[in-house]
Amino acid sequence: MNPVPTLEWTGDSLRLLDQRLLPGTEAFIECRDVETLACAIRTLAVRGAPAIGLAAAYGAVIAAIVTPPGSGFREGCRRLMRVLEATRPTAVNLFHCLASQERVLSAAENRAAAISGLLENARRLHDQDLAASAAMGRHGAALLPPDCAVLTHCNAGGLATGGLGTALAVIYEAHARGILREVYADETRPLLQGARLTAWEMVRAGIPVTVIPDSAAASLLASGRVNVVVVGADRIALNGDTANKIGTFSVALAARDAGVPFYVAAPVSTFDFATPDGSGIVIENRSAGEVARLGDTVTLASGAEVWNPAFDVTPAGLITGIICEHGVVSSPAETLRTQVDSGS
């Protein structure tokens, strides 16, 4: 599997594949300043928790490049990094990556050392993401039966990460092993990330994919045509409660009723060890316009109100297991215990 060109450092700027234009147009955004990158994150030109975190990590490099030298250099960088921090409240990877870059910035002796160190660390985080994706693919594929059909929700592929994916990494590995029959992708209203992005990735990789309306997921699961559900995550609380794209909770409920295993695939950078359970996860609410229009078509009666949460929280009790780079666990707390026991 060739990594999806989600994001790439070009020497003095960050090059992003503009996901708003897929699948019809493959165009790129050159981010040479922090505001351009922040706008790309806010408007979903780049999206998916790991990809947002990596974009912000490279954004810290841009912040250092555009901040003049002098006594106010570090604080100037921090102000720009706070602009990035404010773009999306739910995806915890954003905060993890910026915290990592803040440590590098604080330790740097001067501006040149800061730029060099921040870029080196961003590349390290990017490499870690690719390695974690490959590991999740291996661990997740080992759970799947031969000739299996997988249902996924939203997009948790290369477009949502550094290039390989979380839930879709499992699918790519299952396809490579010859055990995958087909993929079902929820269209994922209101912005159609499943129809536009997941289907695009599957077709690109030569994997059979069928897109279904979100409202058909329960019926599909009840039909017995799906063997397993695998989704991604934007934040996972310590007890295993998981925030993911709105509609994931509904799929998990339907999977439990149908007796279909429901897995979450996410790297450790998506685990929020400081949040005990899902009630503490901040859910981003997005604009009414995402629901009121579909392209140029008005889909909402004038005067009607809109509630448009970007995410929901699936309780840990509905999740069969969490696939991370260390294996399959029930919660971040279990991962912590595993790491302590192994001495890592």
Amino acid at 280: G
184 and 292 in a common domain: yes
Domain with 41 in it: 7-133
Q: Is 250 helix (H, G, I), strand (E, B) or coil?
A: helix
Exactly one of 186, 214, 234, 272 is catalytic; which is it?
234
Structure-token pair, residue 329: 């666990």
In DSSP notation, 182-215 reads: EEEEE--TTTTHIIIIIHHHHHHHT--EEEE-GG
In DSSP notation, 76-106 reads: HHHHHHHHHHTS-SS-HHHHHHHHHHHHHHH
CB-CB contact of 143 with 328 (8 Å): yes
Is residue 1 assigned to a domain? no
Is residue 2 assigned to a domain? no
Task: Give the mean pLDDT of 321-340.
Answer: 87
Strands 242-245, 209-212: pairing is: unpaired
99 and 229 in a common domain: no
315 and 271 in a common domain: yes
175 and 277 in a common domain: yes
182 and 102 in a common domain: no
Is residue 295 assigned to a domain? yes
Tell me the percentage of the chain whose pLDDT exceeds 70: 98
Q: Is the pLDDT of residue 335 over 70?
A: yes
> What is the CATH number for 194?
3.40.50.10470
- Looking at every residue in the chain, the average pLDDT score rounds to 95
> What is the CATH number for 35?
1.20.120.420
Which runs of E-coded beta strand occur in the chain? Answer: 7-9, 14-17, 28-31, 148-152, 180-186, 209-212, 228-231, 235-237, 242-245, 262-265, 271-272, 293-294, 297-298, 311-314, 321-324, 327-329
CB-CB contact of 339 with 146 (8 Å): no
Task: Give the mean pLDDT of 2-9.
Answer: 92
pLDDT for 273 equals 92
- pLDDT band at 142; cut points 50, 70, 90: very high
Known catalytic residue at 234:
yes
Give the CA distances from residue 132 to residues 125, 323, 324, 327, in Å, rounded to whole numbers and listed in that order. Answer: 10, 10, 7, 10
pLDDT for 343 equals 56
Is residue 67 assigned to a domain? yes
Structure-token pair, residue 127: 């490499």
User: Computed from CA positions of residues 70, 72, 77, 83, in that sequence, does the dihedral angle turn out positive or negative?
Assistant: negative
Cα 332 to Cα 272: distance, rounded to the nearest angstrom: 8
Phi and psi at residue 308, in whole multiples of 5°?
Answer: -130, 70
179 and 40 in a common domain: no
Region at 85 (left for phi over 0; alpha for psi -120 to 50; beta for the rest):
alpha
Give the CA distances from residue 236 to residues 158, 198, 242, 272, in Å, rounded to whole numbers and listed in that order. Answer: 20, 22, 4, 6
255 and 239 in a common domain: yes
172 and 308 in a common domain: yes
Q: Is 238 helix (H, G, I), strand (E, B) or coil?
A: coil
Q: How many domains in the chain?
A: 2
Helical packing angle, 49-66 and 34-42, nearest 10°: 160
Last residue of a domain, one of 98, 133, 168: 133
270 and 215 in a common domain: yes
170 and 127 in a common domain: no
State pLDDT tens for residues 304-327: 999 999 999 999 999 999 999 999
328 and 205 in a common domain: yes
Cα 215 to Cα 226: distance, rounded to the nearest angstrom: 16
- pLDDT band at 91; cut points 50, 70, 90: confident
Q: How many CB atoms lie within 10 A of CB 93?
A: 30
Last residue of a domain, one of 133, 167, 186: 133
Q: What is the DSSP letter of 165?
A: B
Last residue of a domain, one of 91, 116, 133: 133
Q: Is the pLDDT of residue 328 over 60?
A: yes
